[in-house]
A and B are shown apart, each in its own frame.
Chain A
């Protein structure tokens, strides 16, 4: 019995009520790493980390109390600490305390293992990935809360079942391969597959499976980590879709740009061809008419007075030919201006308006009344300005109710470094809902009304003004006349 006690793996110690160590077995002495003499005869207080704990043990011995699994920390010779579990009993003989008997079990490693295990357990529980363990028959042995969240089964529903409850029918063939890999000590890393939830829906997961071994290295099961990659997959699909859309949009855009460029080039070519045709073919007969009129006129020189009327008429034919030729040339010049840039110079609006009125009888009394306030000067190109203003004034007197005398007011105001010229008429006005279409080519707002026109006039105005860096616009309430305006940069003031 003594030999057994001496050689037991559990520490055994006798202590006096004052704490003096009376005797200890080898296990007890070795536990803390002291020599016999450093331990026996010393007080247990010296070896307790917390002196209160020693006091407590001694008091309970004095009180006839028995302690079970009392955890205390003891100081080792090397300064480290050991956590031990004490069982104590007081040994009495005829009401006389003989000694306290302490059984000391070292639970340091056990506790550390428990803590580690709890720690890992907490990690497993808090993981966003499903962490599942299974035995080699594929039976689920553990199930964390992420597994529940992802697959929908509670631990109670899952543990004890085969992992095949998670595998879609068409993928059941995957499992034997995985099990075989695990049995052979291998692992499966980030294998992207599909699993099925409790409700039957499928979930994209990335699977990592590794063997679980006992201490001795025997493989007894597998741990599976399943990451839900549904969102990731969806993002990937979305990104791929966007990339595809972008590429298509790009291709479309390129095609569209090429198409537009070519149609624009065609248009420019057609325009140039048109100009060339007008300037050559259209002017040729005009030139001939002019020529023959001149020849006749020259031949009638010095003849009698009876031919005076004929001479006058021939002169008018010649001058009209010349005028038409000038107009054609101006139109062509305007077309060229519109395609190129124009050089802006100081132009007097008063002079241009006066010139326009002078050349167009329908702007003069008694056909119309045009009142012009002092207007000032702008930076412009006179032919373009002429063209714009004659179109605007023409419109101002054209679109009036039958029987009504056109009355037009022309004035201007300075707006910062710009000058805005207004042409206010007493015509039929333009319904506000059509006003945005007014300056477009070939738009006739009132095609059923008996007013002549091709719908080019205001388009020419806009083009001419915008070439001079200006803007155009109009205001009308649809009944009480219209107020058209053009705005251009003001000319710098003359130094006087």
Chain B
């Protein structure tokens, strides 16, 4: 439960909100933030500066905003599911609204959760507990 969280969101306000919710939920996980889908792919692939895994560790949780320029959250998730070493990382989708269509795409792409922004403290806590129970944290954390 203490692994690195990767948040992918282009909105500074929503990044702030996420951080605040983490703080309220008293979550101390290291947080790395990237602001669009393409950068998220670079990060997860470990290319360029992201090759440095001490500074940019492989996340144990990914939170993906759906509506982003260039590459949407849906596309990032779909790509992740084609990468064998990434398929086991739990992914929660973040959306500005509870759109049925978005919800369905997220589910069929294999998302572990769908949250309407900003996630509440309770949502965040419960989610992290749920995925931790399903996926025991890596030994080397």
Known: A276-B99, A279-B99, A280-B96. A287 touches B67 (CB 8 A): no
**Cβ of A283 < 8 Å from any Cβ of B?**
yes
In this complex, how many residues of chain A approach chain B with their Cβ under 8 Å: the count is 15
Q: Which residues of A contact B24 (CB under 8 A)?
A: 298
- The one of A283, A285, A298 in contact with B97, judged by C-beta atoms closer than 8 angstroms, is A283
Contact yes or no, A287 B99, CB < 8 A = no
Of residues 1 through 43 on chain B, the ones whose CB sits less than 8 Å from some CB of chain A are 11, 13-14, 16-17, 20, 24
What's the least CB distance linking A383 to chain B, in Å? 16
Known: A284-B11, A284-B13. A291 touches B96 (CB 8 A): no
Please, what's the 1-or-0 string for B92-114, where 1 marks a CB less than 8 Å from any CB in chain A? 00011101000000000000000
**Cβ of A253 < 8 Å from any Cβ of B?**
no
Interchain CA distance A400-B13 in the complex, whole Å: 45
Q: Which residues of B contact A70 (CB under 8 A)?
A: none
Interchain CA distance A295-B18 in the complex, whole Å: 12
Contact yes or no, A284 B17, CB < 8 A = no
Contact yes or no, B20 A283, CB < 8 A = no
**Cβ of B46 < 8 Å from any Cβ of A?**
no
**Cβ of A267 < 8 Å from any Cβ of B?**
no
Interchain CA distance A329-B96 in the complex, whole Å: 11
Q: Which residues of B contact A332 (CB under 8 A)?
A: 97
Among B16, B95, B97, B118, residue most surrounded by chain A Cβ atoms (within 10 Å)? B97
Q: Which residues of A contact B95 (CB under 8 A)?
A: 280
Among A283, A285, A291, residue most surrounded by chain B Cβ atoms (within 10 Å)? A291
- The one of A276, A281, A287, A329 in contact with B117, judged by C-beta atoms closer than 8 angstroms, is A287
Q: Which residues of A contact B14 (CB under 8 A)?
A: 284, 287-288
Of residues 265 through 304 on chain A, the ones whose CB sits less than 8 Å from some CB of chain B are 276, 279-281, 283-285, 287-288, 291-292, 295, 298
B-side interface residues toward A, CB under 8 Å? 11, 13-14, 16-17, 20, 24, 67, 95-97, 99, 117-118
Leading 3 A-B pairs by shortest Cβ distance: A288-B13, A279-B97, A280-B96
Q: Can you list 17 A-B pairs, Cβ within 8 angstroms, ordered by A?
A: A279-B96, A280-B95, A280-B96, A280-B97, A281-B96, A287-B13, A287-B14, A287-B17, A287-B118, A288-B11, A288-B14, A291-B16, A291-B20, A291-B118, A295-B20, A298-B24, A329-B97
